[in-house]
Amino acid sequence: MGGQLILIRHGIAEERTPEGDDFYRKLTEAGVEEMTAFLPDIAPLLTEAGNLKIWTSPLVRARQTAELVAEAAAVEVIQPQEFLATGDYAAFREALELEEDGFNLALVGHEPYMSNWTKEFIGAAIPFKKGAVAYFTIDLNADPIGKLEWLLAPGESAKRKHEDAADKKHAADKHEGTADCGPCDGEGTLYAGIINEQIVGVQHAYAAYQQDPVEPESAHALRVAIRQLRALLNFNKANGEEKYYREAGEDWRDIATTFGYLRELDVLMEECRELRGLYPDMLAEDGQVMTWLMEERQAEQDSIHELITSGALTERILDAEAATVQFLKSISLDDEQQKKATIKKLEKMKKRLMRKWEEVDFSNHEETHSLRINAKKLRYAATYLAPIIGEKDKTVIKEMKKVQTGLGTLCDLDINGHLLLEMADKTDDPELQNHFRKLSEHQFQRREAILNDEAD
């Protein structure tokens, strides 16, 4: 038995107050406007399987959201379900079992229950922004029972998701000459749309990691998605409220750091596999070194798993999203003002980076690491802010990719070398200590050879 399940978190609602009744909190005017603009665009996706039913939490803010969904999807009946207010998954499953095969259900509810239920469906908790919609195909006889087909949120509509570069350029161009419209709500700008798309990208990467934590690229993709988001937030640092920028930046950085050691281990293990031809006995897949590294990775993976299953990491992501929303609200630039500021900032960043490139001491890891990070920030900005400036700055992207790649080898070798020395200190096995130190020396020697070649 199977069908489709659509999880929808309610839109932006009134703030909770100590004296207020949580049941009666309503959608704000901005929440209604956001959902009203978002839902018609995705309604065809909700109804393409036919016979859409809508179940909703009885709480006012959820019921109002359900009514907007019903209007967009031309559904006449909305059925309140208490388990969508309490998060009672067992009660939900009992109700679902009574549905006919081929069901198509939209469930309007709340966090953290939306995230908790996605874990029941696909084995991965997905943080839901307010107004986010996730579409799953369900087979109740399978394990896991669900497959995530798509996840969208206000700011990343189905239409926007499939826009090509020409469409995005047109979207930017149509705002020409609007600089005299005065300050605007930062949530409704092209920049805000780009940030929201990046947040959805983080959500997808977070779900992908949970579904396959053993795959090195899943942790890497999540860290890259977060770094791209942080770089784009940093780009507008001076144009919004500092405290919100700081909160969002620190939250996203902490989340990325959670996966930092795992990524370092993956890079080191890949390096060791490439060196197997030089050290076949030392680096055999079932030998001491690789066995130790795989056990270390498993321990780190288990530690991250505990953070996820406890809900702590998902809560951090939701906090980071909330701070990001507040930062976007505090930015008063309209699209035309943002375009001018973006072009100016990109040029300034490029000049500063190229100046540092001329001055950098390549033997200094801290300097090369810092320069590499700045090159990434500039490349991300030139790539993802293209809808604002009208086109991608291909020259900057190419140059920064070259800088980033060149410095990446130096940085990886330095990190690998020091990581291997730390591992030598962790083990009491003299032979394993010797292996780690020999490999560490090899990394530092390779780095030195590259530096000497550059100097020549």
Residues 85 and 293: their CA atoms lie apart, in Å, by 45
Q: Which residues contact 146 (CB under 8 A, 6 or more apart)?
A: 5, 118, 121, 122, 136, 137, 138, 139
Residue with tokens 């939306």: 114
Q: Which residues contact 83 (CB under 8 A, 6 or more apart)?
A: 89, 91, 92, 95
In contact, 65 and 35? CB cutoff 8 Å: yes
Token pair in block for residue 262: 């795992």
2-152, CATH topology level: Rossmann fold (3.40.50)
Strand-pair partners of 5? 105, 136
In contact, 108 and 84? CB cutoff 8 Å: yes
Residues 412 and 268: their CA atoms lie apart, in Å, by 8
pTM of the model: 0.71
Token pair in block for residue 330: 């505090």
132-136 own/partner pairs: CB under 8 Å, 24+ apart: 132/8, 132/9, 132/203, 133/6, 133/7, 133/8, 133/42, 133/46, 134/6, 134/7, 134/8, 135/4, 135/5, 135/6, 135/45, 135/46, 136/4, 136/5, 136/6, 136/7
In contact, 230 and 249? CB cutoff 8 Å: yes
Q: What's the Cα-to-Cα distance from 19 to each of 12, 59, 332, 421, rounded to whole Å?
A: 20, 17, 33, 57
C-alpha count within 13 angstroms, C-beta hemisphere, residue 39: 25
Per-residue pLDDT tens digits of the chain, which is 456 residues long: 899 999 999 999 988 777 678 888 999 998 999 999 999 888 998 998 888 999 999 999 999 999 999 999 999 999 999 999 999 999 999 999 999 999 999 999 998 899 889 988 988 888 888 898 999 999 999 988 998 888 888 865 543 443 433 343 343 343 333 333 333 445 578 898 899 888 888 988 888 888 889 999 999 999 999 999 999 999 888 899 999 999 999 999 999 999 999 999 999 999 999 999 999 999 999 999 999 999 999 999 999 988 887 778 888 888 898 899 889 989 988 889 999 998 898 889 889 988 888 888 888 999 999 999 989 988 898 888 888 888 777 888 888 888 888 888 999 999 999 999 999 999 999 999 999 999 999 999 999 999 887 543
* Strand arrangement of the beta sheet that strand 133-139 belongs to: 78-80, 53-56, 103-109, 2-9, 133-139, 146-152
Residues 37 and 122: their CA atoms lie apart, in Å, by 29
189-333, CATH topology level: Four Helix Bundle (Hemerythrin (Met), subunit A) (1.20.120)
Residues 153 and 41: their CA atoms lie apart, in Å, by 11
Residues 24 and 26: their CA atoms lie apart, in Å, by 6
Nearest to 319 by CA among 250, 226, 256: 250
Interior angle at CA 383, CA 382 and CA 387, nearest 5: 90
Chain-centroid distance, C-alpha 184: 26
- Domains of the chain, by residue range, sit at 2-152, 189-333, 346-455
Sort strands 133-139 and 103-109 into parallel, antiparallel or unpaired.
unpaired
Token pair in block for residue 295: 């056990």
